[in-house]
Amino acid sequence: MADLNQKEMLKEEKEILAEEKEILQEIKTEEKAIVKVERTVWVLTALISLLILGAGVGLLYLGISSQSVYTDKTTISAPVINLSSSKGGILEEVDVHPGDIVKADTVLARVGNELIKTKIDSQVLTINSDIGKIFNPGETVATVIDPSALRVVGQVDEDKGLSDIKVGQRAEFTVDTFGSKKYYGVVDEISPTANQGDIVFNISDKRQINSFDVKVRFDQTLYPELKNGMSAKLWVYKN
């Protein structure tokens, strides 16, 4: 009789253990389901956040686009002045180097007995240093720029907001060399004639699209790091 009771008790214990095992398995299954739901919620939340952020960026871009005219076809430049010998002769002497800042009437070189001088305060861009070279009359010996004439020059297509640009409007620009640092200036000049270069056509009607130079003046005492030839991006504010 005792053996029979013991067997029944063992049987009941096995059944209880089996039930506990099933319950534990169900709990694990439910925990996995909860984790999946949490992951799904996290992914959806992230996607919604990205959509909201994208919409915000899009609205910001549209806002900026509606308030400004943008071009990345932009450089910092000044008109280049060619200095040459009126008589020609042998290059006898060179007194400066590219990059030098010189005053008006500074002697840059001597060709024969003729002194090659600057007429205004200048920055030397190039200087031929091939002593003994024979120069023909009018042949360029050196090139300089007037540093005060440096401008941010952006090419704006006639169908990309050119009509919205006026002299005196505020402008903002960045320079590739200095990353996202912002610089500020004022529209100084709008070229009266189109640039001569590659012809661009409007796809819809095959009409030629011309671009015009928009020149922006800036305070060089505030931005002495800006140099002739640097690439830039330009925004001109319409209002």
Encoded amino acid at 91, one letter:
L
Taken in order 223, 225, 227, 233, is the CA torsion positive or negative? negative
pLDDT score of 39 more than 90: no
The CA angle 202-203-207, to the nearest 5 degrees, is: 40
Percent of the chain at pLDDT above 70? 73
Domains of the chain: 69-77+150-237 (2.40.30.170), 80-148 (2.40.50.100)
Rg (CA), the chain: 37
Tokens 């709008």 label which residue? 190
Give the pLDDT band (50/70/90) at residue 208.
confident
Query: Average pLDDT, stretch 60-82?
Result: 82
126-150 residue pLDDT tens: 999 999 999 999 999 999 999 999 9
Which residues are paired to 117 by β-bridges? 107
Q: How far is CA 102 from CA 9, 50, 117, 131, 227, in A?
A: 110, 55, 10, 21, 16
Question: Cα dihedral angle (139, 85, 81, 229), rounded to 10 degrees?
Answer: 60
The pTM of this model reads 0.65
Which tokens hold the place of 128?
């031929």
State the average pLDDT over residues 154-171: 94
